[in-house]
Structure 1
């Protein structure tokens, strides 16, 4: 596999030593009815006691005054996402295998809120990946997961879909697609580029939902590799689904208005995304989104969504071109297929920020080669690159210095680093180097502090400042 992580963690072959902890790394006539079985969803379930909050040792390299704490350890298995309740006294934690925990931030004790294990396809980059607590009702928890195939095991190349659901104390309500529907909005055949994240809009009612392009991550895929999704035998398909060539919602971000209600509506607000595994909304009364778009051979990008209809160019464009005023760069492998003529440069929104697999993100990273490269000096991409987390601090901290308060943070699981910037400034500075594992979700929590989920060590962590 080339110098990248496909999807978000699909480089399992490269990081086999972590396999015990880490599974590395559309409406059509493909009718796959949802299973009738009701998963085990309970408001109060078994509780587990986590190890007491501790200070990470050794500490990652952080700005002066910051300390990393381990909030939950020894009680979770492959956590993927967190979401705080309205008062930020509790945090809900999703596990890749399908469990959702309701955790006390003071104890710490976690109580099982739901177990969707029988519903979730947990294989490679597939699983329960998206989580969002209703800002207006702590008892409503929205989840996004990869569904199991109709028959057979969930392993390798099998036909899977996606599911957006609402969890409450009384069970699971399937929203997109609804229970019993034969119309599947997403189609995924490969082990990566599946569903992604959930973010509430500024109105605290509307949901934004992301999903990958559903294409092969190992080679150019313009629809010539398979017909598993049944979205037509004509090309282009594959990665070109993100350009609207397919009835599936692959490679886009959706806006779901009034989710689950009879007045629910679903709209594509931005497309041309390869794998928008994580994205975040700018704090305040705005629906501006900053999207971590996982790249292929050359780039990792942050895309900035401001208005419906933006096209970020994949698979014809990826990253930016430093030699052309940092406009969107041509993706050579897909340009050579001959199907990119309909995707003009003028129609593509260039990335807000991008970093090359062959480069360090900041000059500081190269000191000691702690963001990607090892002391052998084989470069910043020696271990791979994947933009695996992105989030904001909300500006409520009374202890964070101004440069880190109401700031955008993004992390790379394989480079084991987190960087920060303050839009509209898109010049990053290094925030954390030498993490024990790597971030797959970044959220603002109590006291305005930054929290993150470490999938590699199965922990939830917090950065405090004195």
Structure 2
């Protein structure tokens, strides 16, 4: 795992969060009691330490922006790391592995200690797994995680019914926050191997948690609900990718704001909808502006900015922007043809977008920012 550092650490965390689209929460102090139903999965392994000997950077080294350097912190001890979060003193970094382990790693020495192992509770298949992580920087004994749960019966493989889980991990074990332990109401529903849960970030008030999730629809063919009814959210079309437009009781394809975490007054509100797969997002420090990496369909990739509540980014009816129409939202022709897009309006265009057949920036065409020009020429 590599860590990019600028001259001033505070600036580094801002830029790295946007560049890598990793969730790096700041100034968080949620006062949550651990519910009495907390459980300790795989408790025997918790507390185990491993030494992660750094290795030298192989040549050629990447060309980094001015003021940045690259340092390998840990090597050979992490298995598919998916998310990182620093503690308040910035002397520890917590690392989530896709399979369910959470490591507490020292930034001064290459040592990581197992904080929790949720492997028995997680569906680790395709893009599913433990993907979201956020640490209370004033109390690194509190770690919030977001993961995909396994199906009720059978193996977690291929197209199976799964859900999402937001939990608080402490030394006492796991306390399920959303949905709460024993709840029969599922917050998220997924059937395919991708477009499940996403990331976590705390707000400036230190008590609000933002949570992202994908649309739960097929990622390789048009899905307006005609493919399956696995989530049981109704037989009337549209469903599928249109869950991101609020046609379903599930919070798919949206970013939620959760307040009063783990208390009787806990509430969840949609702050942005119309998202395909907001796999990663970051909060701009000192504001509640969110920058979202919204994974695209066949043509576009986008970064969406959320500065006010209620923004609809248009998926599946719109995606990317139209340079020929004042960079407004571009119609998604494959879903527009389903005739379910007539009621989708007030769409917000992305903060930035690029088409698959184009360069990300003009400088990329010269090979000066993203390595050598592709051997076949053209965008890579």
Query: TM-score range with shorter-chain normalisation?
Result: 0.7 to 0.9
Question: Match of 1:320?
Answer: 321
Partners of 2:241 and 2:316 within 8 A in 1: yes
Query: Aligned-pair distance for 1:375?
Result: 3.2
**3-state SS in 1 of match to 2:343:** coil
Distance, in Å, in 2 between the alignment partners of 1:136 and 1:205 is 12
Question: Match of 2:197?
Answer: 195
1:307 matched to 2:333: no
The structure whose RCO (Cα within 8 Å, separation 6+) is larger is 1
Q: Deviations over 1:339-374 (max 9, x none)?
A: 000012xx1111111011111111222223874986
Query: Aligned-pair distance for 1:204?
Result: 1.3
**3-state SS in 2 of match to 1:366:** helix
Matches within 5 A, 1:334-413: 334-344=335-345, 347-368=346-367, 371=370, 375-377=374-376, 379-381=378-380
Question: Match of 1:145?
Answer: 147
Matches within 5 A, 1:105-116: 105-116=107-118
RMSD: 1.9
Change in Cα spacing, 1:378 to 1:225, as seen in structure 2 (3 Å) is farther
1:245 matched to 2:247: yes
Matches within 5 A, 1:166-245: 166-245=168-247
Q: Deviations over 1:5-37 (max 9, x none)?
A: xxxxxxxxxxxxxxxxxxxxxxxxxxxxxx997
Change in Cα spacing, 1:130 to 1:338, as seen in structure 2 (3 Å) is same
Q: Deviations over 1:30-73 (max 9, x none)?
A: xxxxx997512589511010013644532112234532111111
Instruction: Decide which of 51, 61, 64 is 2:63's aligned counterpart.
Output: 61
**3-state SS in 2 of match to 1:72:** coil
Question: Match of 1:333?
Answer: 334
Partners of 1:41 and 1:172 within 8 A in 2: no
**3-state SS in 1 of match to 2:319:** strand
For structure 2, the 5+ residue unaligned runs are: 1-36
Give the TM-score of the pair, scaled to structure 2. 0.87
Distance, in Å, in 1 between the alignment partners of 2:312 and 2:126 is 28
Distance, in Å, in 2 between the alignment partners of 1:97 and 1:372 is 32
Give the TM-score of the pair, scaled to structure 1. 0.71
Change in Cα spacing, 1:86 to 1:339, as seen in structure 2 (3 Å) is same
Q: Deviations over 1:152-186 (max 9, x none)?
A: 00000000000000000010000001111111111
Change in Cα spacing, 1:36 to 1:156, as seen in structure 2 (3 Å) is farther
Partners of 1:369 and 1:375 within 8 A in 2: no
Distance, in Å, in 2 between the alignment partners of 1:189 and 1:353 is 29
Change in Cα spacing, 1:265 to 1:192, as seen in structure 2 (3 Å) is same
Distance, in Å, in 1 between the alignment partners of 2:163 and 2:282 is 23
1:72 matched to 2:74: yes
Question: Match of 2:135?
Answer: 133
For structure 1, the 5+ residue unaligned runs are: 1-34, 382-466
Partners of 2:63 and 2:369 within 8 A in 1: no
1:282 matched to 2:297: no
Distance, in Å, in 2 between the alignment partners of 1:37 and 1:379 is 53
